Structure 1
Amino acid sequence: MIVKMKFLSITGPKADIDRVVNTYLSKYEIHLENALTELSTMQNITPYIQINPYKETLKQAEDFTALLPEDKRTTTKRLSLEDAINCVHGLDHTLGQLNQERTELEAKKKDLMEKAQKIEPFQDLHCNLSSILDFHFIKFRFGKITKEYYNKFESYCYENSDTVFYRCHSDEQYVWGIYFCPRDQVTKVDAVFSSLHFERIYVPDEYSGTPEDAYAALQAEIKKTDDALSECSRKLAKCLSDSAEDLVAAKEQLEQLSGNFDVRRLAACTKSKKETFYILCGWMSEKDAASFQKDIENDTNLFCFIEDDANNVLRQPPTKLKNPKIFRPFEMYVKMYGLPNYNEIDPTIIVGLTYAFIFGIMFADVGQGLCLLIGGALLYHYKKMDLAAIMSTCAVFSVIFGFLFGSFFGFENVIPALWLHPKEAMTTLPFIGSMNTVFVAAVAFGMFMILTGMVLHMINAARNHKLGELLFSQNSLAGFIFYGALAVTLVLLFSGHKAPAVGVMVVMFGIPLLAIFLKEPLERMVEKKGNAFPETGKGMFFVQAFFELFDVLLSYFSNTISFVRVGAYAVSHAAMMEVVLMLGGATGGGSISWPVIVLGNVFVACLEALLVAIQVLRLEYYEMFSRFYEGDGKPFVPFLKKGEK
């Protein structure tokens, strides 16, 4: 059901807006509209421009809270505004210092690791680095060379060059080392090594002792830095943990204040001679609006005007659904198609009843239905999944129809069928012959559902004051009379009675079809929209209307036949379970293979539950919703949930 709404205009002194939001509006759910848009006909109104002072602090609080474990992100503690701001700023200062310290340590570690990486391959050079770096007449180069070129250097160049290459380390690809040469030969030697793709490594003069000593010292310093980083992280975690409760309380307080302050984005201002007033516009439920008006009756600084939704309101009211708890999960299906607009029928209860009923027919089995009922109920209890609640509700009807069809885990001889066995029951119809009874019942039920959709369409058209749509649409009065007359005629013929008189049939079929054929001009006439026929000309109109009428008649037939799938799934369930019982040896009189029976039931239940759920939803959307439902409503979105403080 759709909650009735009232449109409110709230005004008072500009400086008083925070008090009003905190004292009154936080107690009620109100869907705020942009006051400048709603009051566009008024003069001398301006936007309420003011920067949110809580936004930056709230962002810090949210960032800090995100660092907390999930189990520490809730609290019942409350802080004042001053304490909340001090908590966040104090934590920002402390964490800022620790983060700065950690950043410096990370930079130091990175520098140490780069130095260690440079000197690591040269640990086999058992010579004091400072003595090498202080050479005056000998030049040296640290670096690496691929094994391929190193072998060529040894074979062809080494004996004839004025250099000594000291090999320090090697792997599968490179050889690391250092070469020495006289200072006056360095250009020539460098050219030779460059031609061999020697990659030079620049070793700074910061190392002391041998490369092995320098590497060991660097590793010790890296470990010391790692320990300092761990200690810094421990301090950060402890600081957050110790402040967790206050931090979460501060975040909640700032969220509330920031949310309240953001009301200004939707407010407008107007000036009198002495003072500036704010104006807020929005929607409240009738019940909340009455309570709110009573709550503020003694407040001299607050004025509220409540208007009927049809008077002086530019926007369509938002839609807020309120259904009995058992039908509430089915709102998921309604919202998937589209939220009903304010003047439409909320189809939630209709969907709940018809979806569960059709599901029960198509998935009729006492045992499998009970398993689905229990499984869905447990899943909804622990996970709060709407789909689980829907399946659990549908399973009730599965159990009911399981008794009617006498099916228990596929066995049809365990419990007696209170009505019939879907696969065996047949009905003889005039002009047609023998036909499965379930198919006949499914088509009859489909005709009833289509007529129900037409009634709902007429109600929606009346609510929206669309007289032409109410009278001449294929899904309203004209369509209802034609399709209803067709249904009555078929029932009379198939039950062995005579068809209505020719004159009655001409009136009941001819006039509604003529009204549907002339829907557009008739609608223009009754709603006084100018010329009855479109500007394209009468000839083109009649040709187009003829083919549209043919499409209407075809859709009536296809929509009706579409419900045959309801009976088809009931029959297929019995057939599939018969195959399972045959494979499990339950039909031949021999020993039964219970693992096959159990696994077969699991397979059929899972497969059919999925397919039936999809097919029933298709019937709801295409055969029902398409007849009466627009689904173009806008959701009711309160700026604060009721009771949120």
Structure 2
Amino acid sequence: MAIAKMRKLSIVAEPELKAALLRDLQNLQKVEVRDLPSELAEDELQLPQANSEAYAENFSWYERAEQALVDLSQYRQKESLKDKLTAKRPVMTMDQLYQEADLDKAEEVISRIESLKSRRTAIQDERETIETQQNELVNWRSLPVDPTTFADFEHFDAKLGKLPNDDNRQFWNTLQAAEGLSLAEVYSDENEIGVVLFIDKDQGDGLDGLLADNHFSEWEYPYQNGPDRAFQNLEKERKDLLDEEKHLVSDLQDLQGQRQTIALAAEVFYNQAQLQTVDDLTYDNDLLTLVSGWVTEEDYPDLQAIMTADYPSAVLLTEEISQSEIDNNEVPIKLNNNKLVEPFETVTEMYSLPKYNELDPTPYLTPFYILFFGMMMADLGYGLLMWLVTIFVLKVMDLKPGVKRFMRFGHILSYPTMIWGIIYGSIFGASLPIQLINPTEDVELVLILSIAFGAVQIFLGLMLKTYLASKEKDYDSAYSDGLGWLLLLLGIIVMVIGSMAMDNALMTNIGKWVAIIAAIGMVVVPMIFNDKKLLGAGLGLYNLYGIANYVGDFVSYTRLMALGVSSGSIALAFNMLIAFFPAPARFTIGLLILVFLHLFNMFLGLLSAYVHGARLIFVEFFGKFYEGGGRAFAPIKTLQDHVRLKDDK
């Protein structure tokens, strides 16, 4: 349970083997290809032409393939929930994938889907425009005069337009009484009146101000036929577009049979794009290809077996990792833990991976995260639900590695949730017959347990700091940041217990003097290791000021009590609320409401326990000894969204 030991490797092979070699390394998924340091690149080893165009083309086709699958999914027949949950990806080797993937056909199908989708979008836009025009025309269909004949009138002008429809029809009445014009109502609603105006040409110029004062809004009629005829023409266009759209949808539905073709092509396009990226990191000339990279000690025999079997003419070399590479954080990090600890690597990764010469904190944080999460959830019913859901997902569904690890993470956490639920005697907020601790009555006990567990975690962090600093021969930090604080805090705790809890004078004095000596040491030790003694003393005194931070750290662990009690209290309140329902409603709508409320409370509890558990690890624990900042091991990627690859080597 530690950071996987790495080997730095170089592979020298004939140029014609490069494509197959890189594909096999990708299939192995255990080798990270790195750029050769410039100081090692000889003049005769030339970086090949950048493959940015090839990468861009392959990745573009991958994105288009994924989008085509999304587009097709809108037109496929609905699958049952069972089929969705139990769907399995086909299993094949890399060679089988490349043999079965028909890229030319896939590109043709993808282009066809894009064309059909684009045309359907255009049709929908056209139809929306037509419907907007119809909505504008529908009120004018009863107009008795054809607006296209208005230009033929000899003695008067005609205009279509709208007036505001106020309560007393003030604007309508004003225009109705005006000389030199006549108006007729075509339609009206609560907001406006559609009118046709007939204006004497001899007086038309003088009426413009009157029309403006009465908020007349003219409508320039845009059609070649009367409103009713124009509406019918638009309706015919709309129906023709609907028919065309139905044919497009039918064509898209017929293409469902090509989903597998597109899915396999998406895998190949993605894999080829990744290979193009790696290809840029190799060095070539007419005689050889040089590939440099990293592999773990554990996986090195697998690489060696492939090289021996398939590339006997190639040379596989390994080098010692230099201290400079370790110091410059060039060595990639892969964590190697057992099945219990491995899911909790997600917590470490959220913070930061360790550096190559650091300690993997995952085995040390795991028991505390399990303990803290259980205390904050603390309900047998919620734990059982977590267990059932995660075990179902793990056993039935075809999960990708990241999702599978997270489900295992949740499955492990279901056990402490159930255990603490039994300790607190809580099942969906109701009391169990056995209750070792009543969190609402034994608040002081739960509070003491929370702080005690926190103290153990803090002390472990200080012990690790003492060990790691001593290992680096940094004895000043080992005492000032580790052992000194460990003794000081331990002395204070013993003194408090001796005086307040046990009334033991000897115990109190022992704790007091341990704390005093530790504090003096935190001032003296920096003076010993610092050439400027006064500066060392000042640093030591300033370090002692950090006692306030430790008080805050201990207080932070009270959230274990607070969240556990609050979650149980909220669940109990929900049960009491539904209990007030009359009997028929309690077992019908009340039951549904209760299920929803408990699921909501469970979601909030999971979120709180997940976040606050991580915070206690990151701040109160990692802050004592852990730095992080490592670079994750990144072997050549494969997609595996639509297939699962197996190794046939």
- Structure 2 length-normalised TM: 0.70
- Deviation (angstroms), 1:254: 1.3
Correspondence for 1:231 = 247
Describe the shift of the 1:498–1:440 C-alpha distance in structure 2 as closer, same or farther (beyond 3 A).
farther
Asked if the contact 1:140–1:179 (Cα under 8 Å) also holds between the matched residues in 2, the reply is yes
Correspondence for 1:472 = 479
Correspondence for 1:381 = 391
Q: Structure with the greater relative contact order (CA < 8 A, sep ≥ 6): 1 or 2?
A: 2
Asked if the contact 2:15–2:284 (Cα under 8 Å) also holds between the matched residues in 1, the reply is no
- Deviation (angstroms), 1:423: 11
Asked if the contact 1:332–1:386 (Cα under 8 Å) also holds between the matched residues in 2, the reply is no
Is it true that 1:215 corresponds to 2:231 in the alignment?
yes
Asked if the contact 1:74–1:248 (Cα under 8 Å) also holds between the matched residues in 2, the reply is no
Correspondence for 2:587 = none
Correspondence for 1:551 = 545
Is it true that 1:284 corresponds to 2:295 in the alignment?
yes
Q: Which residues of 2 match residues 488-499 of structure 1 at below 5 A?
A: none
Q: Taking every aligned residue pair, what percent have the same amino acid on both sides?
A: 19
Is it true that 1:304 corresponds to 2:348 in the alignment?
no
- Deviation (angstroms), 1:153: 0.9
Asked if the contact 1:10–1:305 (Cα under 8 Å) also holds between the matched residues in 2, the reply is yes
Equivalent-residue separation in structure 2 for 1:612 and 1:104 (angstroms): 49
Equivalent-residue separation in structure 2 for 1:17 and 1:318 (angstroms): 24
Equivalent-residue separation in structure 2 for 1:571 and 1:100 (angstroms): 54
Describe the shift of the 1:542–1:457 C-alpha distance in structure 2 as closer, same or farther (beyond 3 A).
closer
- Deviation (angstroms), 1:292: 0.6
Equivalent-residue separation in structure 1 for 2:447 and 2:227 (angstroms): 91
- Deviation (angstroms), 1:149: 2.5
Describe the shift of the 1:307–1:25 C-alpha distance in structure 2 as closer, same or farther (beyond 3 A).
farther
Equivalent-residue separation in structure 2 for 1:220 and 1:288 (angstroms): 69
Equivalent-residue separation in structure 1 for 2:361 and 2:130 (angstroms): 70
- Deviation (angstroms), 1:54: 1.8
Describe the shift of the 1:126–1:104 C-alpha distance in structure 2 as closer, same or farther (beyond 3 A).
same
Correspondence for 1:349 = 363
Pick which of 100-109 and 302-311 moved more. 100-109
Equivalent-residue separation in structure 2 for 1:14 and 1:409 (angstroms): 71
> For the aligned residues, what is the CA RMSD?
5.1
Q: Which residues of 2 match residues 149-548 of structure 1 at below 5 A?
A: 149-155=171-177, 157=178, 160-161=179-180, 163-181=181-199, 186-188=204-206, 193-194=211-212, 196-204=214-222, 206-207=224-225, 210-235=226-251, 237-265=252-280, 267-269=281-283, 271=285, 274-275=286-287, 277-281=289-293, 283-297=294-308, 299-300=311-312, 302-310=314-322, 313=325, 314-357=328-371, 370-382=380-392, 385=407, 388-395=410-417, 397-398=419-420, 449-461=457-469, 465-468=472-475, 471-476=478-483, 516-520=522-526, 522-523=528-529, 532-533=531-532, 538-548=533-543
- Structure 1 length-normalised TM: 0.71
One-letter code aligned to 2:632: P
Asked if the contact 1:109–1:225 (Cα under 8 Å) also holds between the matched residues in 2, the reply is yes
Describe the shift of the 1:455–1:397 C-alpha distance in structure 2 as closer, same or farther (beyond 3 A).
farther
Q: Give 1 or 2 for the bigger CA radius of gyration.
A: 1
Correspondence for 2:396 = none
SS at match of 2:231: helix
- Deviation (angstroms), 1:263: 1.5
Describe the shift of the 1:170–1:341 C-alpha distance in structure 2 as closer, same or farther (beyond 3 A).
same
Equivalent-residue separation in structure 2 for 1:546 and 1:118 (angstroms): 82
User: Which of 56, 61, 78 is 2:65 aligned to?
Assistant: 61
Paired residue total: 575
One-letter code aligned to 1:277: T
Asked if the contact 2:33–2:291 (Cα under 8 Å) also holds between the matched residues in 1, the reply is no
Equivalent-residue separation in structure 1 for 2:230 and 2:13 (angstroms): 76
Equivalent-residue separation in structure 2 for 1:487 and 1:168 (angstroms): 91
The superposition leaves residues 537-584 of structure 1 with CA deviations (integer Å, 9 ceiling, x where unpaired) of: x44443342242x33566677767887888x789989x999x99xx99
Pick which of 375-384 and 485-494 moved more. 485-494
What are the ranges of 5 or more consecutive residues in structure 1 without an aligned counterpart?
426-435, 525-531, 585-594
- Deviation (angstroms), 1:344: 2.8
One-letter code aligned to 1:551: Y
- Deviation (angstroms), 1:284: 1.9
Correspondence for 2:633 = 636
Equivalent-residue separation in structure 2 for 1:98 and 1:540 (angstroms): 76
Correspondence for 1:587 = none
Describe the shift of the 1:173–1:554 C-alpha distance in structure 2 as closer, same or farther (beyond 3 A).
closer
One-letter code aligned to 2:277: D
